[in-house]
Amino acid sequence: MAVAQSADSDEVSAGSDLFRQRIRSAWLFLAPMLIVLALVAGWPLLRSIYFSFTNASLTNLDAAQWVGFENYFSMTTLKSGRVLYDGLLVDPLWWGSVWNTVRFTIVSVTLETIFGMVVALVLNAEFRGRGFVRAAILVPWAIPTIVSAKMWAWMLNDQFGIINDILLNLGLISQKIAWTANPDTAMIAVLIVDIWKTTPFMALLILAGLQMIPGDIYEAAKIDGVHPVKVFWKVTLPLVRPALMVAVIFRMLDALRIFDLIYVLTANNAQTKTMSVFARENLFDFDKFAYGSAASTMLFLILTLITIVYIIVGKVNFEGGR
Amino acid sequence: MLWHLVKRTAFYLLVVFIVVISVFPFYYAILTSFKSGTALFEINYWPTSFSLQNYTQVLTTGSFPRNLANSLLIATVVVAISLLLAVTASFALSRVRFRGRSTLLLMILAVSMFPQIAVLAGLFELIRFFGIFNTPFALIFAYMIFTLPFTVWILTTFMRDLPIEIEEAAIVDGASPWVIVTKVFMPLMWPALVTTGLLAFIAAWNEFLFALTFTSSNATRTVPVAIALLSGATQYEIPWGNIMAASVIVTVPLVVLVLIFQRKIISGLTAGGVKG
């Protein structure tokens, strides 16, 4: 009895020794990655936030002085008694870019989800040439954003663009449209390119979710004579929801920080200026480094807030996407 | 019967529509890239002329070949470093239970969703402090912010699914964690490494914001920035032919890679939810 006991405890301590050793090497293994991430993400984030409370300028970062919330909001009372408000929070250009970003995000993610669902349902069906179609939809995803922006800029060209040619031939428009330059259509142009480029990603994530639904559920529904549309709403959609939620949040965060497509496709168009474009412009083009930092800090806050709300309200489970 | 036929036709029409929409813009870019002179400004749906003038112009004048070399170098080094750091990290995250593991995983996921603009100011300061502004090192360093989180994330999910027995056998034989990672896991991980490596390569190859901000001369730019800033002889003349040729040059390798590794990429995308 006693012997057995000591053998038992021996095993436990040996086991926990091994356990401790494993934990130690685990942290050792993690250290390089964590150090790099802290250096490339953590520290720069803190510095950016810090800069937003200073008067730093691009040419003289070291001379930055603490100014409190001045970049966000400040009030000056003139001798005449008039009060002047200044700062990001009362800057109509900033709120315009916030509105542009939100508008862009809502429309693009909604349409991408719908189109992505359609493509995913098609790819989930059995038909000849399915592999070919799946390969074809990967093409937009594989093309660099800058390249797709340029490709579409050429196709949407007002004089020599093929889109205007097609629409004219079909009789859908009566005169050529300057898609990317016209304030009314610039956002539409951006949306077209973004939806074209990112629907495949959405479709593939939804498809992965669809393929996890066991086939016998559909067979049971078929035997019971349930209408396919009803099957979609009552069976497919609830079961694919976890994967869908993950796909939507990934796309949403991506859309909220959009920069490159707009920078190349509709540069300097106030109708499509997003938060990222606004922030970078102030940081590096207008020599308002601190103001740009304030804008990027606000963008970070807004994104964090949206993510938290989305995860709580949507009860997102990140394992569901696999 | 007729209804069935209608449904089938409608389905295949939808399929054709999806394929055409997906492929047409790239097809049209290729078509344009082979046109020169005034042919460029005639709208054709099928190939009418064949000229390599745009390609020779892009590859012999200006700094585009240099930009290609920069992109290739940067993307390759980024893949190598992030895989190296991610393999050991994901071993720890997937095979060892320790306190704070799930918090750490969540943190890594959070960084992968990071808006890059939020760190731009601080990163700019750091890169100038290191004295690597306008060098490839600046981009190699900066790109870790998006390649590391998703390589770690994908490799962790992959390693978690490997059977515990192979590891137990190695532990019984007295193998150290380092030996377990390099000798037991690495050989099993090639598929996952290829997938993550490819995704990291594509992400680094395509990146624009950092490349635009942290380089300032023609010789140090990467291809996306070079294409975005490609300009003609005069300010008002956009060299569409050259732009399309350059676009095709940087895209064809990617499309070929993606089509070859189709299945791997799809599994990697759905595991990691990498940005599209």
Q: Which CATH architecture has domain A93-321?
A: Orthogonal Bundle (1.10)
Q: Are residues B76 and B177 part of one domain?
A: yes
A151 to chain B: closest CA residue: B29
Distance from CA of A55 to the nearest CA of B (A): 13
Does any CB of chain B come closer than 8 Å to the CB of residue A286? no
E strands, chain A, are 74-77, 83-86
CB within 8 Å of chain A, chain B residues 93-112:
93, 96, 98, 104, 108-109, 111
Q: Pairing between strand A83-86 and A74-77? A: antiparallel
Q: Is A291 on the interface with B (CB under 8 A)?
A: no
> For an interface test with A, which of B83, B125, B185 has the most A Cβ atoms less than 10 Å from its Cβ?
B125
Tens digits of pLDDT across chain A (322 residues): 344 443 443 344 445 777 788 888 888 889 999 999 999 999 999 999 999 999 988 888 888 888 888 889 888 888 888 888 888 888 999 999 999 999 999 999 999 999 999 999 999 988 888 888 999 999 999 899 999 999 999 999 888 889 999 999 998 888 888 888 888 899 999 999 999 999 999 999 899 888 888 888 888 888 888 888 888 888 889 988 888 888 898 899 999 999 999 999 987 788 899 999 999 999 999 889 999 999 999 999 999 998 889 888 877 766 543 3
Residue of B89, B181, B244 lying closest to A30 (CB–CB): B89
Residues B102 and B40 occupy one common structural domain: no
Shared domain check, B173 and B42: no
Give chain B's domain count.
2
pLDDT digits (tens, 9 = 90+) for B190-231: 888 988 999 999 999 999 999 999 999 989 999 999 999 887
Task: Return d(Cα A295, Cα A276) in angstroms, integer.
Answer: 8
Chain B interface, best mutation among A139, A276, A287, by max B CB count within 10 A:
A139
Any CB–CB contact under 8 A between A98 and chain B?
A: no
Q: Residues 214..243 of B with a Cβ closer than 8 Å to A: which? A: 223-225, 227-228, 240, 243
Longest dimension (CA), chain A: 97
- Which chain B residue lies closest to A197 (C-alpha atoms)? B276
Residues B96, B79: one domain?
Answer: yes
Final residue in a domain of this structure, among B35, B51, B67 = B51
Looking at this protein, which amino acid is placed at residue B17?
F
- A22, A45, A125 ranked by CB distance to B96: nearest: A22
CATH number at residue B158: 1.10.3720.10
**Does B105 lie in the same domain as B47?**
no
Instruction: Give the structural domain span for B82.
Output: 55-272
Q: What is the DSSP string of B140-185?
A: HHHHHHHHHHHHHHHHHHHHHTS-HHHHHHHHHTT--HHHIIIIII
Supply the DSSP symbol for B240: H
DSSP string, A181-209: TSTTTHHHHHHHHHHHHHHHHHHHHHHHH
**Cα maximum dimension of chain B:** 74
Q: Tokens for B12, please give them.
A: 């295949």
Sign of CA dihedral B171, B173, B178, B184: negative
pTM above 0.90, yes or no: no
Asked whether residue B27 falls in the same domain as residue B154, the answer is: no
A116 → chain B, closest CA residue: B18
Same domain (yes/no): B25, B147: no
Short-list B245, B130, B267, CA closest to B198: B267
Sequence-distant (≥ 6) Cβ neighbours of residue A179 within 8 angstroms: A156, A158, A161, A163, A164, A185, A186, A188, A189
Integer Cα distance of A57 and B139 in angstroms: 23
Per-residue DSSP letter, A60 = B
- Which of A162, A246, A263 lies closest to B28 in CB terms? A162
Residue B40 corresponds to which tokens in the numbers above? 């460029």
Task: Please answer yes or no on whether A260 and B178 come within 8 Å at the CB atom.
Answer: no
